[in-house]
Amino acid sequence: MKTPATAHREIPAATASGAAVSDPALGLLPAWKLSDLYPARDSTAFTADVEKAEKLSLAFEAKWKGKLAEAAAKTGAGGIGEALKEYEALDDLLGKLGSFAGLTYFSDTSNPANGKFYGDVQAKLTDLSSHLLFFALELNRVDDRDMDACMDRDPAAGHYRPWIVDLRKDKPFQLEDKLEQLFLEKSMTSAAAFNRLFDETMAELRFEVDGKKQPLEITLNMLQEPQPEVRAKAAAALSKTFGENLRVFTLITNTLAKDKEISDRWRGFEDIADSRHLANRVERDVVDALAAAVKDAYPRLSHRYYAMKAKWLGMEQLNFWDRNAPLPETPTALIPWSDARETVLSAYGNFAPEMAEIAGRFFDEEWIDAPVRPGKAPGAFAHPVVPSAHPYVLVNYMGKPRDVMTLAHELGHGVHQVLAGGQGALMCQTPLTLAETASVFGEMLTFRALLEKTKDKRERKAMLAQKVEDMINTVVRQIAFYQFERKVHTARKEGELTAGQIGELWLSVQGESLGPAIRISEGYETWWTYIPHFIHSPFYVYAYAFGDCLVNSLYAVYGQAAPGFQQKYFELLKAGGTKHHSELLKPFGLDATDPSFWSKGLSMIESLIDELEALDRA
């Protein structure tokens, strides 16, 4: 359901402002400055905006509650357009406050002061949002004909037509006002609380390798080391620590699955993933077709590739910890940060100078946090914040080729967020299915630029293999994750699940998707525990496969030198959440509802595997 922003805007892990880090091998690694939002959590500016948000929220409720049907009959002053403009300004303000609190908290979740700040701000935003909750609910009770007439008659209201039309899709699942308020306020002590427990638990975990205790990100990175014994030790450390914390992760998973089942049941969703499909504005049969196409392609993609890789590494079967091991041909030299920057911006610039100019601002204006450091969140993300501010990008840069691809990916998100920001706070947010478009496209541009420069056969093989692995991780692995979530949420309806039962479900989908060339041995049954998407955004994961296959098809159109492609591509990004995927893809001659659409996207992965096989024979 659409609620006022801002209380529960999904905020990924992040770090606070900090000094850049000079690394002997990587050069100067930048840290971002959150002071672009507020100078500090105890600053006068932050306190003043909290007070302003409270005053405006109460005034908005007093002015508009119970009066929207009457407002729909007016044009100009006192009309729906005026109400929406005020609501959007509030959404932006609350989103800015919530983003700053979240980014500060996730800089170090073990810091009690950060935890208190985040908790207090979230509680305050939830309270303020309860005064705004009426707006979407009451707006949806305005008669359809009256609302259509209002948007046709009043340009101010008509400006928000995409948001209003989108909102009304939630109408069948909307509850009575008091129940909606209860759901909103109780979320702080239900889903949000268990999300926080997961984050704090994960941040505290340490994995011991050769007597040294280290955080998750560094340990996961060891799975990409060339020495087999290093990968084996890292896997053992991961399995041991995950196993020691199974009780809390099992509790979190059971609680959140039950919480979702209760919400879905009250709202009347038929399928366990329907609420996510609704949020993504994508039809269930489109997602089902994607999942079926990927599953059908397992033998041609992951099964085939991992069998080839086992042969290259001189093994009958890969251990599960060898899945992302580098090939012997992979260059071992670390890539300095300055080279990574040049590589990505050059690839972006060759496609469209405007794209490189926007991405360059992330470097020049300190919107990126790059170093690995204790307490920093693992992984990578781009967080849009709000249109009145700017996005932030986080990476954990260690100088490997994959880190360059990750930088290209997240900067693609950042460019998308900057361009979509022109739609305003209510309409800038892109559904998850399209949110991966710019990121995967940016990654593909960078990969193709690097591949074109690589003439050495061995290096080319290593690059192709790494790209195939990344695509398998994005498509095959994420659909396997989606199937795992479906099994967990379905089984949870019959009662609480033990850690062993969840582990069995995990192994069943992993074995099916990875294939016979990978040996799944003891210890891997606990690796479901660290995937944050299962906790923060149930059924989010299929969006990665959707985005990858979509971009593969888009890139094929680009490769055919289609006239006006760049302009159409920028229009797609600028649209934000104002258009359905069918409308956005039509200018490119693509249709995600066509069953053959997914086959086209998957065929690009298959063609790269064919190229690898040909290189191997040559």
Element (H, E) at 318: strand 318-319
In which band, very low, low, confident or very high, does the pLDDT at 496 lie, cut at 50, 70 and 90?
Answer: very high
What is the pTM (predicted TM-score) of this model?
A: 0.84
Residue at 374: amino acid letter: P
Fold of 39-189: Butyryl-CoA Dehydrogenase, subunit A; domain 3 (1.20.140)
Say how far apart CA 202 and CA 78 lie, in whole Å: 49
Tokens 């949002």 sit at which residue? 129
Name the pLDDT band for 20 (thresholds 50, 70, 90). Answer: confident
* Between 615 and 296, the higher pLDDT residue: 296
- Say what the pLDDT of residue 18 is: 59
The whole-angstrom distance between residue 608's C-alpha and the CA centroid of its chain comes to 26
Looking up tokens 């990750």 gives 406
| Half-sphere exposure of residue 535: CA atoms within 13 angstroms, side-chain side | 26
Tens digit of each residue's pLDDT (9 = 90 or more) over 230-249: 999 999 999 999 999 999 99
> pLDDT-based confidence at 8, cuts 50/70/90?
very low
Question: Mean per-residue pLDDT for 273-284?
Answer: 93
Helix and strand numbers (H, E) in the chain are 28, 9
DSSP annotation string for 187-232? GGGTHHHHHHHHHHHHHH--EEETTEEE-HHHHHHGGG-S-HHHHH
Q: How distant, in Å, are the alpha carbons of 71, 130, 188, 478 from that of 379?
A: 47, 33, 25, 16
Q: Helices in 391-436 by DSSP H: which ranges?
A: 401-420, 432-435
| Cα–Cα distance for residue pair 22/4, rounded to 1 Å | 42
For residue 116 the two structure tokens come to 């208190």
Return the HEC string of 242-296. Answer: HHHCHHHHHHHHHHHHHHHHHHHHHHCCCCCCHHHHHHHCCCHHHHHHHHHHHHH
- Give the integer Cα–Cα distance in Å for 348 and 569: 13
Beta bridge partners of 369: 394
- Whether the predicted pLDDT of 16 surpasses 90: no
Find which of 91-100, 553-562, 589-598 is predicted with most confidence, using mean pLDDT: 91-100
8-state DSSP, 494: T
Instruction: Please state the rounded mean pLDDT for residues 98-114.
Output: 82
- Over 90: is that where the pLDDT of 14 sits? no
The per-residue pLDDT for range 379-436, each reduced to its tens digit, is 888 989 999 999 999 899 999 888 999 999 999 999 999 999 999 999 999 887 788 8
Q: How many angstroms separate the CA atoms of 497 and 388, rounded? A: 44
Write down the pLDDT at residue 17. 52
Instruction: Give pLDDT tens digits for 518-527.
Output: 999 999 999 9
Which candidate, 110, 119, 104, places its Cα nearest to that of 383? 104
d(CA 231, CA 216): 14
Residues 322 and 444: their CA atoms lie apart, in Å, by 24
